[in-house]
Structures are given as C-alpha cells and as structure tokens.
Amino acid sequence: MNFWQDHSSHYLAMAFKTDNREILAKPDGYGKKTGDCGDTVEFYLSIQNDLIEYVSFQVQGCMNTTACANTVALLAKGKSIEDAWNITPEDVIDYLETLPEDHMHCAELTIGAFYLSLSSCQELNKKHRKEIHH
C-alpha cells in the first residue's frame, strides 16, 4: 500500500492544509465535540451578513479528522447559516473520495462539531436581536 497513491488529490490537500487551523478570539459561532475514538474537533465561525465568511478549527486527532475538518471549512465558506445545515457527513466523504471506511466516523464527528457551531451562531443571533429590541 502506498499512502500517496491510495488517496485522492482532494484527500491529500485537505489532510495537509493548515491555513484554517486557528482559534478565533471572538467567534460568531463555536462548537466542540469529542468522538468515541478520542478525537476532538473545535469549529470557530465568523459570520458577515448572515453568510459564513470564515471557518477555522482545531483538531486533536488523526489525519482523517483533519481532512474532514478542512473539507467542512471549504464546503461551508460563503454559505448562509441556513444552507450550511445541509452539509452532511456524506458530502465530506464524497469530496474526500478516499476517506478510509474505518474512519467514516471522522466525517460524522466533524459535522457534529460544525452543527454545534451553527447552533451557537443562532443562539448568539437571538440574544443579539433581543438586546437591540430592549
């Protein structure tokens, strides 16, 4: 087995991409989830005009989880919060093409953490609207 030949160019790009690995000081959305495998993913969202302007993350885990987190960031950027809820683990798996079958849970874990960050965006929005109206 040859790692480089066994994986798609998408998988390799997402596994080694590092420009979205950062902690945002004041994110508009934040979600953190730890999987049964022990991997932990944290997402930080920056929202502008109801669109996801920037997605960053931290991963304590394997390369497969990192590849999934980068894919979520790529798929989510520029989408509305509403549309971002439609991103599924299957979308991540399809994009990566060669995510190992015994690591499909990495896509589910990553999407779970991402959904938590979307949920926190909506909570912050509600809170902000109430403050404006009171």
Task: Give residue 129's pLDDT band: very low, low, confident or very high (50, 70, 90).
Answer: low
pLDDT recorded at residue 4? 82
The span from the CA of 68 to the CA of 108, in Å, is 9
* Domain extent for 14: 3-133
The span from the CA of 124 to the CA of 106, in Å, is 27
Give the DSSP H/E element, type plus range, for residue 54: strand 51-60
Mean pLDDT of all residues belonging to the chain:
92
pLDDT digit string, tens, across residues 14-59: 999 999 999 999 999 999 999 999 999 999 999 998 899 999 999 9
Q: How many domains does the chain fold into?
A: 1
pTM of the model: 0.92
What CATH number should be reported for the domain holding residue 16? 3.90.1010.10
- What is the torsional sign of CA 26, 70, 54, 43? negative
pLDDT digit string, tens, across residues 58-81: 999 999 999 999 999 999 999 999
pLDDT recorded at residue 128? 61
pLDDT recorded at residue 123? 76
pLDDT of 94 > 70? The answer is yes
